[in-house]
Chain A
Amino acid sequence: MSYSLPDDKGHFEQYGGVFIAETLMTAVTELQQAYEKYKDDEEFNAEFEHDLKHYVGRTTPLYHAQNLSNKLGGAQIHLKREDLNHTGAHKVNNTIGQALLAQRMGKTRIIAETGAGQHGVATATVAARLGLECVVYMGEVDVARQSLNVFRMKLLGAKVVPVSSGSRTLKDALNEAMRDWVTNIDDTFYIIGTVAGPHPYPMMVRDFQSIIGKEAKEQFDKQVGGLPDALVACVGGGSNAIGLFYNFIDDKSVSIFGVEAAGYGIEKGPTAHAAPLCAGSVGVLHGNRTYLMEDENGQIIEGHSVSAGLDYPGVGPEHAYLKDTGRAKYVSITDDEAIEAFHLLTKIEGILPALESAHAVAYGVKLAKKLPKDKHIIINLSGRGDKDIHTIAEIEGIKF
């Protein structure tokens, strides 16, 4: 592979880096050194792969969605079925990797932030299995709209701490987790759920998630032959997207599309969407330089998306780099378009996508219609929609 970012300071050109308080620097440096030590360690990787296979259930299928492709009459759509992972989303690929690292570093306590609750559940799950204490920070607003996942985490033995500061959503959960980490730095490992945070997180989370694209590439070659024409994945923080994209970055014939949440519509202004790459500007938040939703004074703006997993005001720095270089194209899909795609996939293929993943499906549908039948698109179906049934029911006015 000729693509080799980030550099040893965690920079993707001007993006990424380590922007944290001195109070965290030693912990982050320790983590950098530990990851550097274990990332090419045979035993570590063997255990990681073993767990992905026997505990998570990988390899996940690459499924040719023939009904959907035939209905659209354009390019062939293939779904990378991350929804079939244990705990129902791609998030667990990363929590397995980080928890194994935590164990090797001798940490006995795990903390995490969560938005939709998927990362929280994936963290609580691995913590339960490894017998580690687990505390999950979650914004009060998200606690209310994702009560099912809150209960799941509690069943798994995690303590869920509602965060009442700031806008009481994912970004504030991240702030609170950072505060916990700095206070309990000796015994605590912070499992960040996306490709954000200070170096090494964007690189490390990408590496753990890159199994998605690695498998998809091999599967596509076996099932169809050669390379796909396009990749599509939703982007909140961007971990499932970079997981799919990473192994294709050098394959210039493959078009790459990241799909952000346009919420009520980008034209309605920054509080109506969560699309920093499409409509934000560059700044520094949560340890790295990237595109953000921010006002003219540098205050972070809380956006909106129907999917709790996409309404994060920042995005992984590697996506910022891929955008600027033009290697990936970032587009957006509104709440309504995502919900329509949710229903379409559910009815025609019998697969309930997570609302986050439904954004990718919606854009994949648009793209497929524009391409001939002999072209192939891989859409990352990053999670399953069971967690969103309440949201969908609410939109349709149904009460249980």
Chain B
Amino acid sequence: MAYASFADLLLAAQTAGSLGEAVVALECDESGASRASVLARLESSLSVMEDAVARGLAGDAHSRSGMTGGDAKLVSEKGPCLAGDTFSEAVAGALAVAEVNAAMGRIVAAPTGGASGVLPGVLLATAARLSAPREQVVLALAASGGIGGIIAAKATLSGAAGGCQAEIGSAAAMAAAAVVELAGGTPQQAGHAASIALQGQMGLVCDPIGGLVEVPCVARNATGAAVALAAAEMALAGVTFPVPLDEVVSAMGSVGRSLPPSLRETALGGLATTPTGKRLAAEPAQH
């Protein structure tokens, strides 16, 4: 079992040294696998993420419907237009993986397929900026898994159950905590970063055009990455969030249950039912 609360994870991190180490230690205990084999498996997931970023940035990942593909390349080639390198790279990376996902490419669900771009976008751009050793990046990935496990236990990671806040919101919280730890922040700061990222997307609805994981999902991976970086920036500077992460997560779950079914992955509301949304949904696939 994963940690059931951030309070539990924080306690374990005191002994283990970091959130990532605490997650790896529990995984070893539960599965009987060695530390080396758990790290190796996480490292192979990291490689799949890197490959997906590279493929998306190359621009050849177009979805079957023709609605998505090519934006990651655009941002990567034109950027940074306004923001810094790390921010622009994170946005491009998030778009890249989300486009590869929509194009039936190989990705790591993190925590879901629809939200698979946020974590690689933010984590890999940050790792590049910090020239972080590979094992530290793998441990940051483990830390993000710990945060995701808590959200799964206390709320939900499913857009159908809790709206987009449960998918992109959770991914942003996971990514924010991961990069705070990677940048040398404390476990407490990582928790504040996750809280800030999640509160920033509280109430976000799941309204996919045509019911497909394309529009707005691909763009939302990029905006989710931006939220994650903003949250990490604040937490690393010492900004705290007054509501503890466990309570923020419970609030997100409660908001998710209050969302009408039309805004939970049914394509019956939000952008899906705009005139353009309906027109795009009715058009035959171009690919």
Instruction: Answer whether A and B are interacting partners.
Output: no
A interface residues, Cβ below 8 angstroms from B: none
Binding site for A on B (CB under 8 A): none
